[in-house]
Amino acid sequence: MQQEHIAVEMLGITKRFPGIVANDSISFKVGKGEIHALLGENGAGKSTLMNILFGLYQPDEGEIRINGRSVQIADPKTAIELGIGMIHQHFMLVESYTVVQNIILGTEPKKGLSIDYSRAEHKVRELSERYGLQVEPGQLIGDISVGMQQRVEILKTLYRGADILIFDEPTAVLTPQEIQDLMAIMKNMVNEGKTIILITHKLKEIMAVCDGVTIIRRGKVIDSVSVRETSPDELASKMVGRQVSFAVDKKEANPQEAILKLHRVTALDNRGIPALKQLSLELRRGEILGIAGVEGNGQRELIEVLTGLRRVQSGEIRLHGKPVHNATPRQIAESRVGYIPEDRQKRGLVLDFTVSENSVLKSYYFPDFRRHTFLDYDKMSRHANRLIREFDIRTPSEHTPARALSGGNQQKIIIAREVDGDPDVLIATQPTRGLDVGAIEFIHKKLVEQRDKGKAVLLYSLELDEIMNLSDRIAVMYEGTIVGIVDPRTTDEQQIGLMMSGSAVRQGEEST
């Protein structure tokens, strides 16, 4: 590549955090008009590298060149001036602001002392038409879909005249349809002369839209290759440093009687709007039932009514034949339901409690952990130590606060606690979110193990791949109901994607 055709060049970038070298002399370059992927395990250092490019972090060593010119990017302001824009892994949008307000924030057009909203809106409309980024300028962020929020994020960068766009895991939160739209938008932008750096864990996406890909492992560049000259398998093995199989290793399921039954359940969401509408569903021993659906179609509410965190308006839930709707979380836990919550830091753990205390978060009051009337911390420690061994939790000791552990190990505490309670029903929500391949493998194995022991497993994940790979049956949710139950062996993602968007209803063999 000739020098003048290079949009971004990072040379020997090193960034150290306490106890870890996040970027270890990383060098790579991206050509103008190229879509370049950054690929790597969790914690490989991708976000760190891009945060450096966007001026959020300062590198300890190394040089950055933009359009061939060596630059110092002290802060996002400089980055923006250099024509760099970043669409963050977690959206950076003010919920209570409108689309336009979010887009202009920081570079507001003025009329006298006040903001010139009509000019701003005009410009936003213009941009959105040009790039096919359909948004509604006057709407509040809190009221629009995730896909549209992402379009707002992209417009923010375009509004500031960005030529180089960084996308940090943009597809993690999107439906298959939205992902396709996004890919089209990216192509469109490249055609308009923009350059894109794309961080993603999904090899399919890289193969579909990217020109080049740089693979990072443990803060080091492993290789930079052209997409035309590689394959998903090759990329995967470069990424983790060993051969990986994507398929989950599991035997045929042996489903037995239904243990958990929902009958015409309705429930409201936090705003008081019906989120579950006459939903019926059965979960059987010895199976993994996957719940698929676009975020916000009642999955969260479904899980919450099952675990006692949300009230049921009507209908009934039976566990072992006994009604449990509107039982308290404790009553439900005591009827042998394990629950791996979606947000481990918010729900699953008291981060300032020790590993040991977290390991008994649901059982501290059992006689096992008491001596006379008082709590016996020694007994808790012994219990925790056993779990640490059995579940391979990497922690300095059982007295370490959970906060100090890495995400994967925090998740393992939860898995250990919930699985060790020997539940009949295990509800797992997004159990592998944000984890790397190794950790994911471990957790998948544990879930299948539970199934094989004759437990019933309910799996909710936004990763369609995960649902497809693990489930024995898949229930697709749309607008608060189950629109169909399918067998993963006889359906494809395309079909499920259509059901998720409400445009096709297919009745499974034993639909309710």
Partner 1 sequence: MSKLIYWLFKESSLVSLIAIGIGLLLGSLIMLAGGYNPLLAYGSLFGKAFGDVYNTGETIRQITPFIFTGLSVAFAFRTGLFNIGAEGQFIMGALAADFVGISLHMPWYIHVPLAVVAGGLLGGLWGSIAGYLKAVRGVHEVITTIMLNWIALYLSNYLIKAWLLEPGQMRSKVVDKSAWLSSAGLSELFGGSRIHYGIVLALALAAVFYVVLWKTKQGFELRAVGLNPDASEYAGIQVNRNVIKAMFISGVFAGVGGVCEVLGVFHYQAVNTAFPGYGLMGIAVALIGRNSPVGAILGAVLIGVLTYGASGMKFGAGVPEELVSIMIALIIFFVAANQIVKQLLKLTAKNKKEVL
Partner 2 sequence: MQFLQMTGELMHTTIVFATALVFASLGALYSERAGVANIALEGLMTVGAFTAAIVTYFVETQLGGGAVSPWIGFAAAVAAGTIFAVPHAVASVTYKADQIVSGVALNFLAIGITIYLCKVILHGAAQTPTLKAVFTKWDIPFLSEIPFLGHAVFSAYPTSYLAFMLVAVSVFVLYKTPFGLRLRAVGEHPKAADSMAISVSKMRYMAVMISGALAAMGGATVTLTTTSNFSHSTISGQGYIALAALIFGKWRPVAGMCAALFFGIASALKSVFQVHGITDYIPVDFIYIFPYALTILVLAGFVGRAVAPAALGKPYEKGQR
Point out which residues bind ligand ATP (CB under 6 A): 17-18, 20, 22, 40, 42-48, 404, 406-409, 434-436, 439
Q: Helices (DSSP H) in 391-436: which residue ranges?
A: 407-420
Query: Which among 341, 460, 303, 305 has a CA at the least distance from the CA of 361?
Result: 341
SS (H, E, C) 325-356: CCCCHHHHHHCCEEEECCCHHHHHCCCCCEHH
Contacts to partner 1 from residues 48-77, by CB under 8 A? none
Q: Assess contact for 265 and 311: CB atoms under 8 A.
A: no
Q: How far is CA 298 from CA 74, 76, 291, in A?
A: 43, 37, 10
Q: Which does 42 bind (CB under 5 to 8 A by kind): partner 2, partner 1, Mg ion, none?
A: Mg ion
Q: Residues 119-158: x/- map of binding to partner 1 (CB under 8 A)?
A: ----------------------------------------
Please identify which residue in 2, 96, 243, 270 interacts with partner 2, judged by CB under 8 A. 96
Output 238 or 284, the one with its CB closest to ligand ATP.
238
For residue 156, state whether it binds partner 2 (rule: CB under 8 A). Answer: yes
Q: Which does 349 bind (CB under 5 to 8 A by kind): partner 1, ligand ATP, partner 2, none?
A: partner 1
Please identify which residue in 20, 94, 184, 505 interacts with partner 2, judged by CB under 8 A. 94
Q: Residues 6 or more apart from 46 whose CB is under 8 A from it?
A: 38, 39, 40, 168, 199, 216
Q: Residues 235-274: x/- map of binding to partner 1 (CB under 8 A)?
A: ----------------------------------------
Residue 209 DSSP SS3: helix
What are the structure tokens assigned to 446, written together? Answer: 């544990």
Alpha carbons 228 and 308: distance in angstroms, whole number: 51
Q: Which does 22 bind (CB under 5 to 8 A by kind): ligand ATP, Mg ion, partner 2, none?
A: ligand ATP
Count of residues of this chain found to bind partner 1 when the rule CB under 8 A is applied: 29
- The residue with tokens 């016996």 is 376
Alpha carbons 236 and 202: distance in angstroms, whole number: 10
Q: Which does 298 bind (CB under 5 to 8 A by kind): Mg ion, ligand ATP, partner 1, none?
A: none
Output 267 or 462, the one with its CB closest to ligand ATP.
462
Q: Assess contact for 496 and 291: CB atoms under 8 A.
A: no
Alpha carbons 488 and 490: distance in angstroms, whole number: 5
Q: How far is the CB of 168 from ligand ATP (least distance, A)?
A: 7
- Cβ of 389: how many Cβ atoms within 10 Å? 10
Q: Which does 93 bind (CB under 5 to 8 A by kind): partner 2, Mg ion, ligand ATP, none?
A: partner 2
Applying CB under 5 A, the residues found at the interface with Mg ion are 42-43, 47, 407
Q: Residues 6 or more apart from 226 whose CB is under 8 A from it?
A: 211, 212, 213
Q: Assess contact for 292 and 501: CB atoms under 8 A.
A: no
Q: Which does 108 bind (CB under 5 to 8 A by kind): partner 2, partner 1, ligand ATP, none?
A: partner 2
Alpha carbons 428 and 189: distance in angstroms, whole number: 39
Number of H helices, E strands in the chain: 16, 24
Q: Which does 404 bind (CB under 5 to 8 A by kind): ligand ATP, Mg ion, partner 2, none?
A: ligand ATP
Output 352 or 492, the one with its CB closest to partner 1.
352
Q: Which does 362 bind (CB under 5 to 8 A by kind): partner 1, partner 2, Mg ion, none?
A: partner 1
Q: Which does 346 bind (CB under 5 to 8 A by kind): ligand ATP, Mg ion, partner 1, none?
A: partner 1
| Region binding partner 2 by CB under 8 A among candidate stretches 71-79, 253-261, 279-287, 376-384 | 71-79
Residue 70 DSSP SS3: strand
Strands 35-39 and 212-217: parallel
Alpha carbons 199 and 46: distance in angstroms, whole number: 7
For residue 433, state whether it binds partner 1 (rule: CB under 8 A). Answer: no
Where are the extended beta strands (E) located within 169-320? 195-199, 212-217, 220-226, 258-268, 274-284, 288-292, 314-319
Q: Which backbone phi and psi does 298 adopt, to 5 degrees? A: 105, 0
| Region binding partner 2 by CB under 8 A among candidate stretches 94-102, 250-258, 298-306, 462-470 | 94-102
Q: Assess contact for 505 and 511: CB atoms under 8 A.
A: no
| Region binding partner 1 by CB under 8 A among candidate stretches 313-321, 367-375, 420-428, 463-471 | 367-375
Output 51 or 356, the one with its CB closest to partner 2.
51
Count of residues of this chain found to bind partner 2 when the rule CB under 8 A is applied: 28
Output 100 or 393, the one with its CB closest to ligand ATP.
393
Where are the extended beta strands (E) located within 430-487? 456-460, 473-478, 481-486
Q: Residues 101-120: x/- map of binding to partner 2 (CB under 8 A)?
A: xx-xxxxx-x--xxx-----
Output 304 or 436, the one with its CB closest to ligand ATP.
436
Indicate the residue whose CB is closest to Mg ion. 47
Binding site for partner 2 (CB under 8 A): 51, 54, 56-57, 75-77, 80, 86, 88, 92-97, 101-102, 104-108, 110, 113-115, 156
Binding site for partner 1 (CB under 8 A): 307-309, 328-334, 339, 341, 346-353, 357, 361-362, 364-365, 370, 373-375
